[in-house]
């Protein structure tokens, strides 16, 4: 089992920045992928960004150039630096942990990000 704890959400004005953190604990697999998804009211959950244990990253087109995903394997933590935030970035952001060989997927509890003036 992998337990994920997110932090860093909140209310920010348009153009502002936030950094989300997600710490994993429990059974940590050496080969994994961690990522951030978001779900706005009335919309489906969508991938924001992901990063593999090898360091390969993927960012959704809607956040490229504004958001950056990174990880610290010594801390089993993944980060999402969000800059130039827009009202349409408002959503609940969920941390995801994926184990390729078993296809097991784990989710955090979610953290609210609200971009509003």
pLDDT tens digit sequence for 85-105: 999 999 999 999 999 888 999
Q: What is the CA radius of gyration of the chain?
A: 14
Q: What is the pLDDT of residue 80?
A: 98
Q: Centre a 10 Å sphere on the Cβ of residue 60 and count the other Cβ atoms it contains.
A: 15
Q: Tell me the pLDDT tens digit for each residue of 23-60.
A: 999 888 888 899 999 999 999 999 999 999 999 999 99
Q: Tell me the pLDDT tens digit for each residue of 61-79.
A: 999 999 999 999 999 999 9
- On whether the CB atoms of residues 82 and 17 are closer than 8 A, the answer is yes
Q: What is the pLDDT of residue 95?
A: 97
Pairing of strands 10-12, 33-39: unpaired
Residue reference for tokens 């942990």:
97
Q: What is the pLDDT of residue 33?
A: 94
């Amino acid at each position: 089992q992998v337990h994920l704890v997110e932090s860093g959400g909140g209310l920010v004005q348009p153009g502002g920045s936030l950094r989300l953190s997600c710490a994993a604990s429990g059974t940590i697999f050496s080969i994994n992928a961690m990522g951030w998804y978001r779900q706005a009211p009335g919309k489906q959950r969508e991938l924001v960004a992901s990063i593999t244990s090898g360091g390969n990253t993927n960012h959704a087109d809607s956040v490229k150039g504004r958001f950056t995903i990174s990880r610290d394997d010594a801390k089993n933590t993944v980060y999402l630096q969000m800059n130039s935030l827009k009202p349409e970035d408002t959503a609940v952001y969920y941390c995801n942990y994926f184990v390729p060989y078993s296809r097991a997927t784990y989710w955090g509890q979610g953290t609210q990000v609200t971009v509003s003036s």
